[in-house]
Amino acid sequence: MTNQIIELISIKEETPNIKRFVFQLPESKNFSWSAGAHIRVILPTGESRAYSLLDLKELKKNQIAIGVLLEVNSTGGSKYMHSLSEGDKIEISPPTNNFELTDGSSDDVLIAGGIGITPLLSMATKLNKGNKKYTLHYAGRQKNSLAFVSDLLELCGENLYLHYDNDNSAINLRSIIENSSTGSNIYVCGPLGMIETTKDIAIELGLPNEKIKYELFKTDDEKNEDEAFEVQIHATGQIIQVNADQSIIEALEKAGLDPLYDCQRGDCGICQCEVISGTPDHRDIILTEEEKASNSIMQICVSRAKSKRLVIDI
């Protein structure tokens, strides 16, 4: 499948800063996807942003939907998306899925933080269709911060647990994980803290790695005060400057190279490359602590450098 142009046919305000967007696909194009998949929206700058696809009851043939949180300091994707009007056309990539629902398990536990609900809503839809047992925990700061609540109530019924940080319903990850069934998988999509805590609890409880599946929801706001550094391509010796506001991938692309990548959040592993010398500043959630400590591999979509230069093999 190739990129395609789609038309925005409806916008709904879910919360003061989350909008639901429904798009019409061209009739002639094939577009198949599964729960957990995302598309990339190509921005006017040529950059792209990943958004999980929503499997909503309201969708008709050749329609897709996404939910987008407007980030306070957005300089890219969410600001562009929230500026769109019905009738506008955008370019999207074909769907990709790095967060698949594993068939065959039962009593799955789905845990969402904030806008991380989007892939899990689609998973709940699939589990419902398959008459599978599951629970969906959805956490947010306060009542008006949760999106798609009426869809979820209709979809999940008593399988849905809503958690608000500002009252006594606040999510208790330890209790959820401790009480999950032996055969169930745990799917988490939310901010870094939620994923790291889930992973730590799972390790502490001795759960097998493959039982916990996660996708990081990373906002534009999380770009912090970074410093510039250099990467050198081992095979050619080419030296490329990575500016403070660029990822390694962005710098490589600007230099005319074609690195492999997908999620750009540090959770799919596709951009992983070998580090020949220099010290990476690991910011992914996919490498183990041992792999990070070895400093021999890194995810170039999110990780940066602690040294002035990294020599990498791409």
Is the distance from CB of 186 to CB of 178 less than 8 angstroms? no
- Supply 262's token pair: 């997908």
To ligand FES, the closest distance from the beta carbon of 266 in angstroms equals 5
215-250 in b/e form (b: 16+ CB < 10 A) is: bbbbbbeebeebeebbbbbbeeeeebebeeebbbbb
Minimum Å gap between C-beta 35 and ligand FES is 19
Nearer to ligand FES, 48 or 78 (CB): 48
At position 111, the amino acid (one-letter code) is I
Residue closer to ligand FES by CB (options 119, 140) is 119
Q: Minimum CB separation from ligand FES for residue 299, in Å?
A: 4
Using the rule CB under 6 A, is 192 a contact of ligand FES? no
Distance in Å, CB of 284 to ligand FES, minimum: 6
The answer to whether 198 contacts ligand FES (rule: CB under 6 A) is no
**How far, in Å, CA of 312 to CA of 119, rounded?**
33
Q: Is 215 in the site for ligand FES (CB under 6 A)?
A: no
* 15 phi/psi in degrees, rounded to 5: -140, 175
Smallest gap from Cβ 273 to ligand FES, in A, equals 10
Tokens of 232: 């050198």
Nearer to ligand FES, 189 or 263 (CB): 263
* 95 binds ligand FES, rule: CB under 6 A: no
Q: How many residues bind ligand FES (CB under 6 A)?
A: 14
Among 302, 256, 308, which Cα is nearest to 50's? 302
Residue number with CB closer to ligand FES (48 or 299): 299
Of the candidate residues 146, 233, 287, 301, the single one contacting ligand FES (CB under 6 A): 301
| Residue 275 and residue 311 in contact, taking contact as beta carbons nearer than 8 Å | yes
Which CB sits closer to ligand FES, 124 or 268?
268
Least Å distance, CB 267 to ligand FES, is: 6
Residue 184 in contact with residue 108, Cβ under 8 Å? yes
Parallel, antiparallel or unpaired: strands 134-140 and 108-113: parallel
- Using N-to-C axis directions, what is the helix angle for 149-156 and 117-129, rounded to 10°? 20
Q: Which of residues 240-299 bind ligand FES (CB under 6 A)?
A: 261-264, 266-271, 284, 286, 299
Residues lying near ligand FES in the complex (CB under 6 A) are found at: 261-264, 266-271, 284, 286, 299, 301
